[in-house]
Structure 1
Amino acid sequence: MVIDGIDVPDDGSGSVDHVGELIQRVAGGDQNAFARLYDMLSPRVFGLILRVLVDRAQSEEVLQEVFLEVWQSAARFVPNRGQGRSWVLTMAHRRAVDRVRAAQSRADRDVRVGFRDLEVPHDGVAEQVELRIEGKRVAQALAELPEAQREAITLAYYGGYSQSEIAALLGSPLGTVKTRMRDGLSRLRSSMGVTP
């Protein structure tokens, strides 16, 4: 990958946070850095959002919202507090969860005021509602985890990263990442009433 005419490795194995560097350049208004950042991260960010929302059209909307937020809030990124990729993926996950919560809130409000759609085309609607409710339960359970466990699990299950990739992204030993994920998943199972 070439940044400012310098060829740097993009395999995530080095200690340099290339995404973080691009975010810092975006904070300075660098449109080319923003375009590179979008090209580099949008497929992974979209995949994370789609896993949460399931609906492709809504996921595309949220993707655009996330990158608009990146553009507007890049100056708030603090490089020594985490990797740039994690910062963007966390932002995307929060936006997707907020969208699910907003949809659930609208549905709850509609039920309270007695609104019912009398023309239901098929039972696929019930399935989507069930998936969203389950997604909300998972999001609530994730929110109760300690930050380190939540970040590792979010990167693995919503970001699609392997444990070794997560270790490289977070700058943590692989054993630490494995322990965080094991403990976090155990807590999730317990809080959701799932027996192993």
Structure 2
Amino acid sequence: MSSVVFLHGRPEPPPDLKAVMERVSRGDHQAFARLYDAVAGPVFGLVRRVLRDEAQSEEVMQDVMLQVWRGAAQYDPARGDVMPWVMTIAHRRAVDRVRYCRASADRDRAAVVGAQDTPFDDVAERAETHLDHQQVRHCLRGLTDLQRESVLLAYYQGLSYREVAERLHTPLGTVKTRMRDALIRLRDCLGVGS
């Protein structure tokens, strides 16, 4: 399927991603929406091939897009095109998720077996994770009700965009827009990339 859009009978060329990325690096939300529309499909496809789980793939895709938003200023057009840069981030995130899931499964097995001493680093990591969760809860309260509800359904209940749209009786495109805007607001609230 081609990414060329037809307007008034003429094809609209795909956006110049380097120019779009330059605008994104300056915090341009509309440019980010264009970038998101251009790369989200290929990112999801790559992540889905690695993870083989739709719900996790959608979550990782959103993480990738948030990382792209945060790291837009670090993108160097002299080092390559936007799409390979984004796809590299996507592949790394997907592989990280696979490793995390394997490590989590290993920890669960070890807990079942019993007699596992908790190393200091694990305790410190758990404390840091608890503080991170508190900050995320605070930032979630700053979203609109519709944004918060979409994020909670997707991330905490593992629903796909389509399932969120069905649950909220809302068009799929509206749900995607809410999620994108919510992620931008969460990034700003968390002070990431500033």
Q: TM-score, normalised by structure 1?
A: 0.50
Indicate if the aligned counterparts of 1:45 and 1:89 stay in contact, CA closer than 8 A.
Answer: yes
Counterpart position of 1:93: 91
1:78 is aligned to 2:76 = yes
SS in 1 for 2:46: helix
2:108 to 98, 107, 110: 110
CA RMSD of aligned residues (A): 2.3
Consecutive unaligned residues of structure 2, counting only runs of 5 or more, are 6-10, 115-194
- The AA in structure 1 aligned to 2:54 is R
CA separation of 1:115 and 1:71: change in aligned 2, threshold 3 A: farther
| Displaced runs of 4 or more, over 6 A | none
For 1:88-125, what per-residue CA distance to the aligned partner results, in whole angstroms no more than 9, with x for missing partners? 01001100100000000111122223269xxxxxxxxx
Which aligned pairs between 1:9-48 and structure 2 lie closer than 5 A?
Answer: 9-10=13-14, 18-48=16-46
Cα offset, 1:62, TM superposition? 0.6
Indicate if the aligned counterparts of 1:66 and 1:95 stay in contact, CA closer than 8 A.
Answer: yes
Indicate if the aligned counterparts of 1:26 and 1:71 stay in contact, CA closer than 8 A.
Answer: yes
CA distance in 2, matches of 1:49, 1:34: 20
Cα offset, 1:81, TM superposition? 0.5
Identity %: 51
1:58 to 51, 56, 59: 56
Consecutive unaligned residues of structure 1, counting only runs of 5 or more, are 11-16, 117-196
CA distance in 1, matches of 2:113, 2:21: 45
SS in 2 for 1:114: helix
CA distance in 2, matches of 1:103, 1:48: 18
The count of aligned residue pairs is: 106
CA distance in 1, matches of 2:104, 2:39: 31
**Deviates most, 18-27 or 86-95:** 18-27
SS in 1 for 2:112: coil
SS in 1 for 2:42: helix
SS in 1 for 2:64: helix
Cα offset, 1:9, TM superposition? 4.0
SS in 2 for 1:109: helix
Which aligned pairs between 1:154-169 and structure 2 lie closer than 5 A?
Answer: none
- The AA in structure 2 aligned to 1:82 is G
